[in-house]
Amino acid sequence: MATPRLALPSEMSRRLTFLFAVAAGVAIGNLYWAQPLLGFIAGDLRAATATAGWLVTATQVGYAVGVLLLVPLGDVLDRRRFVPMMLLTSAVALLLCALAPSIGVLLLALGVLGVTTISGQVLTPLAADLAGDAQRGRVVGVVGSGTLTGILASRTISGFVAEAAGWRAIFALAAVVAVLLAVLLHRAIPPLAPRTRMSYPQLIASVGAVVLRERTARWTLVLAASGFAAFSMFWTALTFLLSGPPFQYPAPVIGMFGLAGVAGALSGLHGGRLHDRGWSLPATGAAWVLALGAFVVATFAGRSVVLIVIAIVMLDVALQTQALLNRARLFALSDEARSRLNTALGTGNFLGAAVGSAAATTLWSAGGWTPVTITGTALCCFALTVWALGRRGPLVIRPAKTDGRMSADPAGGLVPLRPPFRR
């Protein structure tokens, strides 16, 4: 058998970038098939709607566990084999979801699905490895936008499929797609040598070591988790809002609101380009200001579809842009530890998402839509405070590993040599 080699940056073609984006979107979409169907599933399995709300939380907690325990393996395994294997494993979990006879079994199956559907989190750092320095932000932005588009488009697709063939059909269909993508990626990903060699316990422990070593990583991870908490809280509560009075929309109509969010995901493609041009830090702050405005608009949108759509577009443009910037900023910190940095990012993101969905369920039970939007506004203010403190960190100069030149990061970390972050 031929020894795996390190692929050259030129091997990240447009076609492979697109395939990575689609596969990452499908993988992450598995976490959200159930979200617009909570009322539908609750009725079919004879469970309370509030109980069904925990389905989203179970999936996200499982995903955080999977990211923490499995994604670091991307730095020590041949990802040409690892990614298809995880897609096939998630296909099995999707079939378990489709066959679940009760809400309890579905909760368990969705937790397993969350653990196994982590291939998108391996593909994103792989795309960064294969891309050249000048295109890395753009490539990561495209693949990241695929992930975010999958989160949103899954709601629309899920609603229509459930209306036509029942909620179980969407999980069965997703299993078939996962198998197809496993085959395509096995053929498309070039053989790759591991980025590093260490034991599994050392690998997991090194995730924390990388984060502790890099100040930029620490405050970026707080921003990222806050963004996913706000995102998940908004969308989980929006399902409750649209399925009850005065709207009382069916699942396909609720899923259609995800299309407004897709527009935000497409605009978020520019996040990677902003990073390449050196505007990562100011653009992140601007994104959080926009998110704050979105929650203010949402506060007055309890009975207005127009205001709801405006809030969706604003929030998704804001949170998806800052998410892409966060990822590109982290990947600039280390060549050999990108999977581990992505592990820290993904774990924090989906723990934040789990907290957000749980908060939405609790706040909705306590007072409906208004407590949700007020909490979202407060969360944005917190994130802006973290951003303001983080970007004022001391200037740190470090030698670049490639050719000995120096790179400067006003936020306290290693950044691409061209161009530096601008304040």
User: What per-residue confidence (pLDDT) applies to 239?
Assistant: 86
What backbone torsions phi and psi does residue 139 show, to the nearest 5 degrees?
-65, -45
Name the 3-class secondary structure at 408.
Answer: strand
Among left, alpha and beta (phi > 0; psi -120 to 50; other), residue 348 is alpha
Model confidence pLDDT, tens digit, residues 148-175: 788 778 878 888 898 888 899 999 999 9
**pLDDT for 393:** 60
- Bridge partners of 409, per DSSP, are 396
Q: What angle do CA 347, 117, 199 make, to 5 degrees?
A: 60
Half-sphere exposure of 373 (CA within 13 A, CB side): 19
Burial of 1 (0-12, 13-18, 19+ CB in 10 A): exposed
Total number of residues shown for the chain: 423
Domain boundaries, the chain: 9-409
Token pair of 178 as six digits: 């996962």
Count other Cβ atoms within 10 Å, centred on residue 140: 28
- Residue spans of beta strands (DSSP E) within 46-111: none
Q: What is the pLDDT of residue 184?
A: 96
Q: What is the DSSP letter of 277?
A: T
Tens place of pLDDT per residue across the chain (423 aa)? 444 444 444 467 888 999 999 999 999 999 889 888 887 888 888 887 677 878 888 888 898 889 889 988 888 888 889 999 999 999 999 999 999 999 989 999 999 999 999 998 899 888 888 887 777 777 877 887 788 788 778 878 888 898 888 899 999 999 999 999 999 999 999 877 776 788 888 888 888 888 888 888 899 999 999 999 999 999 889 988 998 888 988 877 887 887 777 666 666 566 666 766 778 889 999 999 999 999 999 999 888 999 999 999 999 889 888 888 888 888 778 777 777 888 888 888 878 988 998 899 899 989 999 999 999 999 999 999 999 998 776 433 333 343 333 333 333 333 333 333 433
Per the CB < 8 A criterion, the answer to whether 162 and 251 are in contact is yes
pLDDT at 115: 94
Which are the contacts of 64, defined by CB distance < 8 A and separation ≥ 6?
Answer: 114, 346, 347, 349, 350, 351, 354
pLDDT in tens, 33-43: 988 888 788 88
Q: What is the pTM of this model?
A: 0.70
DSSP 406: E
89 vs 94, 286, 295, CA distance in Å?
Answer: 9, 40, 38
- Nearest 5°: CA angle at 307, between 301 and 311? 95
> Under a CB-based contact definition with an 8 Å cutoff, are residues 75 and 196 in contact?
yes
Question: Domain 9-409 falls in which CATH fold?
Answer: Growth Hormone; Chain: A; (1.20.1250)
Give tens-digit pLDDT for 119-144.
Answer: 988 998 888 888 877 777 778 778 87
pLDDT of residue 418: 35
Separation between Cα atoms, residue 201 and residue 48, nearest integer Å: 41
Instruction: Tell me the longest C-alpha to C-alpha distance in the chain.
Output: 64
Query: How close are the terminal C-alpha atoms of the chain, in Å?
Result: 50
